[in-house]
Structure 1
Amino acid sequence: MSVVMNGMERKVTKIGNSLGVTMTDALKQLGINNGDTVKVDVRGDEIVIKKSQYVTLPKGISLDFLDTLHDVMNEYDETLKGLKDR
């Protein structure tokens, strides 16, 4: 069950050479933790923060490999689905 948090007021503070706003509870509600990458969009007079879907590839795995894997999985989709029930 998620808790909706509306109307949170926070003070803008100086963090190093930047300005920041603390909002730990709101970030936790979105599943955002320390070290995560987020996407920040400015829409009119609003700031929208979303957890980034960017995935880093393990060492030795190239984008070409992932493209090939995607193609093979699409080509053999029904066969692979049949294997899961064996």
Structure 2
Amino acid sequence: MSTLKLQIKQLIIDALGLEDITAADIDDDQPLFGEGLGLDSVDALELGLAIQKRYGIKIDADAKDTRNHFSNVNSLAAFVTAKQPA
């Protein structure tokens, strides 16, 4: 597991107060919302703010592809990597 993916999993757990799970419990391809991890729209806002703060990137909540970036850990990791300065 890459360091970034592990950091994102831990950020999800810490930012959302998911005390009953560990990073190892979150599959890289597991959906974060609905049937997967079970996050909701409030969780999405909190997670978005945590990612912006942690990685210093801007997230446009109104962008069409933002929902896709937050679909699972793999897509979040790719998004963060693409948005970080070179």
Tell me if TM exceeds 0.5.
no
TM-score, normalised with respect to structure 1:
0.19
Q: Which structure shows the higher strand fraction?
A: 1
- Higher alpha-carbon Rg: 1
Larger RCO, structures 1/2 (Cα 8 Å, 6+ apart): 2
More helix by share: 2
TM-score between both structures, scaled by the size of structure 2: 0.19
